[in-house]
Amino acid sequence: MGILNATPDSFSDGGEFLSVDAALRRAEAMIVEGADIIDIGGESTRPGSSQINAEEEIKRTRPIIAAIVKRVDIPISVDTSKLLVAHAAIDSGAEIINDISGLRFDERIAKLAADSGAGLVLMHSRGAFHEMHALEPVADIFAEVTASLAKSLKQALDNGVRREQVVLDPGIGFGKTPKQNLELIGTLDRMVEASQGVPIMVGASRKSFIGKLLGDVPTDDRFAGSLAAATIAIWNGASILRVHDVKATVEILKTVDAIRSAIKSGDLVMSTA
């Protein structure tokens, strides 16, 4: 899943793809690089960001979604937790709703997904919009995330969403300590097992915990760390990676798949020398 932020203030690429032409060029470039999904967001959810109204978010995203849908044939996702924005995106041709609140902000998004047949990504987060990055971390992050996502999944299913429409996201970076982010990625296989067949998406690309780990480096210097996180996540069972650097991530995925295939086929022989 390639990230396309139609925002002036996103932490990584804010202001770069506000125009339809710039966004379209970026989407086409990511598809050439190997993106399977383009995720379009009109509201920054970085730490310290301010929530905008639905009308402004629709103004930013709807023209871009409509233009991209006319030019490409891969699924378009809208990154929103607002019902009106999700409606406008689906009406414009989007096929996936990526809800960072896991239905906490507006459960009616589940009914929209059920009625439209759209895919639904449910992400773990806590608190109101302005609190998501500021709340004190919980003691047991695995228990918190799995319990919260189970609740979100039940809400979706109770509203008529089919299980095969849903993807779960542990919400890397949202109210977790750097250590907890590492724990979630490093033990993702446990979450995959707990999800009972519902695919897991991981979005660790360029996030602040990587910057802290590497010595408080700026966003542009988190490339290698992002690839390392993506490699471990996919090895541990993630089905979707939400990333900025599509080409490099696709290359590591091909390498991971080749290694897995070699292990399964028995082509790898361990030296005893």
Q: What is the pLDDT of residues 217-235, one digit of tens each?
A: 999 999 999 999 999 999 9
d(CA 65, CA 80) in angstroms, rounded, equals 13
CA distance 225 to 50: 27
- Determine what percent of the chain is predicted with pLDDT higher than 70: 93
CB count, 10 Å around CB of 149? 24
| Structure confidence by residue, pLDDT tens digits, 185-201 | 999 999 999 999 999 99
Q: Is 151 part of the annotated catalytic residue set?
A: no
In the residue annotation, 154 being an active-site residue is answered as no
Show Cβ contacts of residue 24 under 8 Å, excluding neighbours closer than 6 positions.
Answer: 64, 67, 68, 71
Q: Which of 82, 176, 207, 222 is catalytic?
A: 207
Pairing state of beta strands 38-41 and 201-202?
A: unpaired
The model's pTM is: 0.91
CB distance 168 to 199 below 8 Å: yes
2-265 CATH: 3.20.20.20
Residue ranges per structural domain of the chain:
2-265
CA 137, CA 150: separation in Å to the nearest integer?
19
Q: In the predicted model, what is the mean pLDDT of residues 85-114?
A: 98
> CA end-to-end span of the chain, whole Å?
42
The one-character DSSP state at 36 is S
Tokens of 65: 């979604």
Is the distance from CB of 74 to CB of 38 less than 8 angstroms? Answer: yes
Q: Which residue among 242, 254, 260, 264 is the active-site one? A: 242
Beta bridge partners of 2: 38, 243
Residue 41 in contact with residue 4, Cβ under 8 Å? yes
Structure confidence at residue 267 (pLDDT): 66
pLDDT greater than 90 at residue 44: no
